[in-house]
Amino acid sequence: MQNLVKRLREGQGLTQKELGERVGVSRQAINAIEVGKFDPSIWLAYDLAQYFGVSIEDLFLFKEEDRK
C-alpha cells in the first residue's frame, strides 16, 4: 500500500526514530511502512494520521489491487 508517511515525516524534519517514538513503534516499523513492506494496523494508521493532522484515506493510498 502506498502512503505519504515519508513525505510528511521529512516535511516536519523528523527522523524515523523520532516519529516512531511519537506514535509508539520502532524506527524499523516506520521504515517498513514507508517502503511498503508492512501495512500498519488500523490503530497505528489512525495514530499516524492523527499525528500528521490528516485522514487515514489521505495518508494511505488505497487501491483495489492492493487488497488482501
Whether residue 17 has pLDDT greater than 90: yes
What DSSP letter does each residue of 43-55 carry, written as one string?
A: HHHHHHHHHHTS-
Instruction: Express each pLDDT in 32-60 by its tens digit.
Output: 999 999 999 999 999 999 999 999 999 99
* C-alpha–C-alpha distance, residues 2 and 7, integer Å: 12
Average of per-residue pLDDT values in the chain: 94
**Residue type, position 47, single letter:** D
User: Of 15, 40, 11, which Cα lies nearest the Cα of 27?
Assistant: 15
What is the band of 1 on the pLDDT scale with cuts at 50, 70, 90? Answer: confident
